[in-house]
Each structure stands twice: as structure tokens, then as C-alpha cells.
Amino acid sequence: MISKFIACVLMTLLLVLKPAMSVAPSCDAVITSFAPCLSYLKNSESVPSTSCCDNIRVLDQQLPEKQDRKNVCQCIKLAVHIIGTVNNTRVQDVTSNCGSTLYKFPLISPDMNCDNVQ
């Protein structure tokens, strides 16, 4: 009975504390947050959508470490065959068009080099 209660308290604490910790996003989360940007990156919208920019600003806050940004690059590289061809001029501009200065997406291609990510 007591251990159940403690487990319950621990679970609640975990749920409460989780959003406060800065945790690098999973590959799935990265691809999901990247998805609303694709119509801009593929030239079918002239400006990035609000949801694209919102997601990029969140990514920005989640990626203060270079190693995390490299991991995001690896995620995108794995998804290149799903993402398909994008306009890399727009990949370079999407973050500044969203008013974000920290994170720059690497140029997206099947042989993108994630070691160069800053």
C-alpha cells in the first residue's frame, strides 16, 4: 500500500518536472516538428507557416548544445528519403524568416555532412 503511494507520488513528480528540464528532442519529435515547414521548403508556400515557425523556435530552445544539433542533423539525414528534394536556399533562410537566430538547419541532401553542423 505504502509503496504504491510512493510510486504514485514519484510518477506525479516526474510528470510535473519533465517540462521544466531541457531534454533534447527525439528523432520522431524532430521530424514531426519539421513537417509543417515542408511546404515552404518545397516551394509550395511563399512564407513559412506559423506552425512551422512555432516549432522552429521550440527546437531552438531545445538545442543549446552543438551535439544535440548534430543529432538533429542525423535525424533529418535519416528522413531524407521521406522528405525528398527541398529548396536549400529556403532551408538556409527558414530560421531567419521565422525570427530565430540560434539554430540553422543544415543543407538537406542524401550526403549531408552532419559533422559540419555548428
- Give residues with Cβ within 8 angstroms of 94, minimum separation 6: 37, 40, 41, 48, 52, 56, 105
Tell whether residue 90 is a contact of ligand NAG (CB under 6 A). yes
Spatial separation of the C-alpha atoms in residues 49 and 102, rounded to whole Å: 19
The number of residues that bind ligand NAG (CB under 6 A) is: 4
Give the interface segment with ligand NAG, choosing from 5-13, 21-29, 85-93, 109-117 (CB under 6 A).
85-93
Tell whether residue 109 is a contact of ligand NAG (CB under 6 A). no
Of 26 and 85, the one with the shorter C-beta distance to ligand NAG is 85
Q: How far is CA 110 from the centre of its chain?
A: 18
User: Interface with ligand NAG by CB under 6 A: which residues?
Assistant: 43, 87, 89-90
